[in-house]
A and B are shown apart, each in its own frame.
Chain A
Amino acid sequence: QITLKESGPALVKSTQTLTLTCTFSGFSLTTYGVGVGWIRQPPGKALEWLALIYWDDDKRYRPSLKNRLTIAKDTSKNEVVLTMTKMDPVDTATYYCARPGTGTGAFDIWGQGTLVTVSS
């Protein structure tokens, strides 16, 4: 069974750095073609893709947030970490990690999400 679960602070202050961890099971980030991504959703708004990391350490970022985002993997712990600097109240959202299916282009498994609130 494939699962992903997000963890991190529920509340951060404006200008601080957010660090979120995605802990997964049922697959390995050392397997060819496998990746893990982060997607967020502000309250009442649409999904917004943030970043992706692949088995070969290829990293992709949302262009408008590229300067604030860093994604990294720890294959020994089955974890993917996302850091976002200079947090602002507009970054208040539920943050999801999800696995893109190999070769399908679709996120077939999602975590439960974690709500992060940014206070001013």
Chain B
Amino acid sequence: SYDLTQPPSVSVSPGQTASIICSGEIVDNKHASWYQQRPGQSPVLVIYQDTKRPSGIPERFSGSSSGNTATLTISGTQAMDEADYYCQAWATTTDVIFGGGTKLTVL
């Protein structure tokens, strides 16, 4: 079955750039989306169709995709960006699939 792999954790200093990678066969031909989930809250869409940002999402959030890898980049990371981040894509046989999530720590 398909799978999306993310690093369990990423650490970044305030003001620096954080990158979170999502990899898997599915990513190569299907668009990736990214969600931010703060503790005790519902997920919030921050990137869709690999690179697009919903209205209201700060410009410091960006996405890219190349080959089997999608990347979420947070530039000028702020303390408020500390959260869990999930990638998501679609598969032919399993429809929707999520990555295992990455805990972003802003030190």
Which residues on A are within 8 Å of B, measured CB to CB? 37, 39, 46-49, 52, 60, 62-63, 96, 98, 101, 104-108, 110-113
Beyond A39-B96, A46-B101, A49-B95, 17 extra complex contacts between A and B, CB < 8 Å: A39-B98, A46-B86, A47-B35, A47-B86, A49-B97, A52-B95, A52-B96, A62-B95, A96-B43, A98-B43, A104-B48, A104-B52, A105-B33, A107-B88, A108-B54, A110-B42, A112-B42
Which residues on B are within 8 Å of A, measured CB to CB? 1, 30-31, 33, 35, 37, 42-45, 48-49, 52, 54, 86, 88-90, 93-101
Q: Please indicate the chain B residues that have their CB under 8 angstroms from the CB of A62 in the complex.
A: 94-95
Determine if A49 and B96 form an interchain contact, defined as CB atoms under 8 angstroms apart. yes
Could you tell me the distance between the alpha carbons of A96 and B54 in the complex, rounded to whole angstroms? 20
Nearest B residue to A4 via CB reads B42
The prevalent SS among residues of B at the interface is strand
Nearest B residue to A49 via CB reads B96
Could you tell me the distance between the alpha carbons of A74 and B45 in the complex, rounded to whole angstroms? 26
Q: Please indicate the chain B residues that have their CB under 8 angstroms from the CB of A106 in the complex.
A: 33, 45, 48-49, 88
Q: Please indicate the chain B residues that have their CB under 8 angstroms from the CB of A108 in the complex.
A: 45, 48, 54
Determine if B101 and A107 form an interchain contact, defined as CB atoms under 8 angstroms apart. no
